[in-house]
Amino acid sequence: MITKSKTIDKFHVWTVGCQMNIADSQRVDVGLKRLGLDEEKNIEEADIIVLNTCVVRQSAEDTATGLLGKLAKQKRKKSTYICVTGCMVESTTKSLAQRFPHVDLWAKPQDTPKIIENIADYLNLSSDGCVENLIPEKSKFAEFVPIVQGCDKFCTFCVIPYRRGRETSKPTNQLFEEIKTLVDNGTKEVTLLGQNVDSYGHDLNPKKDLSDLMYLINDIDDLKRIRFLTSHPNDMSLRLIRTIKDLPKVCRSINLPFQAGSNRILANMRRGYTRDQFLRKIDQIKTIVPEATITTDLIVGFPGETERDFEDSLDILNRVKFDKVHVAAYSERKGTFAFRQIDDDIPMEEKRIRLNTVNQLQDKIQKKLNSKYLNKKFDVLVEGKNRDMYFGRTEGDKLVYLDDLDEKFIGEIIKTLITDYSPYSLNAEKI
Ligand code: SF4
């Protein structure tokens, strides 16, 4: 419902960080368009700016604070409205407000209604009907759907539980309706998101789990693929692994972070499992869903990580042979247990050496794994064009570059023959 009195204001939503932030920004975008605002691609031209921030890595936080500094100048020039949301926003915003007094609103992650209502007030608009059910009217063929917010695990290096709070699941029926609407609007693939997606539903009454949700949405006609991110080894149940095997639309692609290979470091990280328990979970997955691709997350240079501990991590990589490893050097995050209690005692140079060692090992492993795809046929969802090459993904989330394709296939699932490979991607032709 729009009761607008002034010239159309232009907004820009700036996003950094994980898929959860991308999904949140998309919902802010929908709400602002419902207020009658126009999107502006160039941040310098926008009247209303929403920054959706991330603090998981220092570099992401530095990018956001650097941009906030620049925006002070823009605000002085043209009275730009500035809202900051995402993981940079702490439970108390006093120190941030002192540091960045030109910010109009600090909104916690996923507090989209507050953002829309505050901007409506600022512009003297009514937000009636603008904050409910913020689903894009023209859906993209692949959409992220947050299903559980926050995390109860409190790993010692991670700031997420402090910024996103305890686990809170969206009701299953609400998610069914949301996903059905997305599919009616053109979506073919959904990625169910949670910081710990496998713990979905334990807080609902009656309790549900991720398998319940998957069974429900698997029946939506025209939905072709269901993905999910990110899993925790302790919450990946036998039922869930069987569901991945049994449901045709659930992609056989699993991201299961192990973070460290040494029991001593795992305990210091408070991950809640040992290396043997992690390896048993992998065995379970490989036994029940042998065709599954498995990716992981790994931190090198966690405080106190010795050469021997690091070799334990390499040993896990050599045993499991992951399809991809998201590896990061440990960096201190303010507010975490590790920041308060453990010295960051591994020099950056050593962390870089360990990063390189992991990357070199993974290159070899991935090249060998990808060589098995050569001359085989796969369905690929075409996602877009990068420079001169079209690209898409297999069910197993392998990035595929496609020769001689046409624009009209973007958003379609096509049959392909793999013609070449590298450690990072496959090449294919349409058949
Ligand atoms: S499980 Fe993931 S999101 Fe939760 S505290 Fe650990 S690293 Fe952070």
Q: What are 166-220's pLDDT values in tens digits?
A: 999 999 999 999 999 999 988 999 999 999 999 999 999 999 999 999 999 999 9
Ligand 1 atom nearest residue 195's Cα: 3
Is omega for the bond preceding 230 within 30 degrees of 0, making it cis? yes
Q: Which two tokens stand for residue 183?
A: 């599919």
Closest residue by Cα to atom 1, ligand 1, is 153
pLDDT at 120 over 80: yes
Q: At 4, is the pLDDT very low, low, confident or very high (cuts 50, 70, 90)?
A: very low
Q: Residue 333 pLDDT more than 90? A: no
The CATH number of 136-251, from 3.30.430.20, 3.40.50.2300, 3.50.50.60, 3.30.750.210, is 3.30.750.210
Q: Residue 10 C-alpha to ligand 1 middle, in angstroms? A: 36
The verdict on the CB of residue 232 being under 6 Å from ligand 1 is yes
- Residue 149 pLDDT exceeds 70: yes
424 close to ligand 1 (CB < 6 Angstrom) = no
Per-residue pLDDT tens over the stretch 291-325 = 999 999 999 999 999 999 999 999 999 999 999 99
pLDDT of 319 reads 98
- Write down the pLDDT at residue 278: 98
What is the residue extent of each domain of the chain?
10-122, 136-251, 377-430
377-430: CATH number: 2.40.50.140
pLDDT at 8 over 80: no
Interval between CA 256 and ligand 1 midpoint (Å) = 12
Q: What integer is the mean pLDDT of 141-158?
A: 93
Confidence of residue 56 (pLDDT cuts 50, 70, 90): confident
Q: In testing the pocket of ligand 1, which one of 54, 196, 299 has its CB within 8 Å of the most ligand atoms? A: 196
What confidence score (pLDDT) does residue 3 get?
44
In DSSP terms, 430 is beta-bridged to 416
CB 155 near ligand 1, within 6 Å: yes
Residue 2 pLDDT exceeds 70 = no
Ligand 1 centroid – CA 281 distance (Å): 18
pLDDT digits (tens, 9 = 90+) for 377-389: 999 999 998 878 9
Mean pLDDT check: name the lowest of 39-43, 89-93, 351-355: 89-93
On average, the pLDDT of the chain sits at 92
d(CA 307, CA 301): 10
- pTM value is 0.88
Where is pLDDT greater, at 280 or 95?
Answer: 280
Average pLDDT for 93-121 = 89
Contact 410, 383 (CB under 8 A): yes
164 lines ligand 1 (CB under 6 A): no
Ligand 1 atom index nearest CA of 259 = 7
Mean pLDDT for 408-417 is: 94
Homologous superfamily assigned to 10-122 = Methylthiotransferase, N-terminal domain (3.40.50.12160)
Q: Which residues of 210-223 are buried (b: 16+ CB within 10 A; e: fewer)?
A: bbbbbebbeebeeb
206 prior amide bond cis, ω within 30: yes
- pLDDT tens for residues 62-74? 888 899 989 998 8
Give the atom of ligand 1 at the shortest distance from the alpha carbon of 158. 8
**Cα-only R_g, the chain:** 23
C-beta 150 within 6 A of ligand 1: no
Task: Please name the residue whose Cα sits nearest to atom 8 of ligand 1.
Answer: 158
**Ligand 1 pocket check for 153: Cβ under 6 Å:** yes
- Residue 156 CA to ligand 1 center (angstroms) comes to 9
Residue 426 has pLDDT above 50, yes or no: yes
Q: How far is the CA of 348 from the centre of ligand 1 (A)?
A: 23
Domains 136-251 and 377-430 share a fold: no
Q: How far is the CA of 178 from the centre of ligand 1 (A)?
A: 26
Structure token digits, residue 327? 């590896």
Amino acid, res. 339: F
Would the CB of 154 count as within 6 Å of ligand 1? yes
Q: Whose CA is nearest to atom 2 of ligand 1?
A: 195
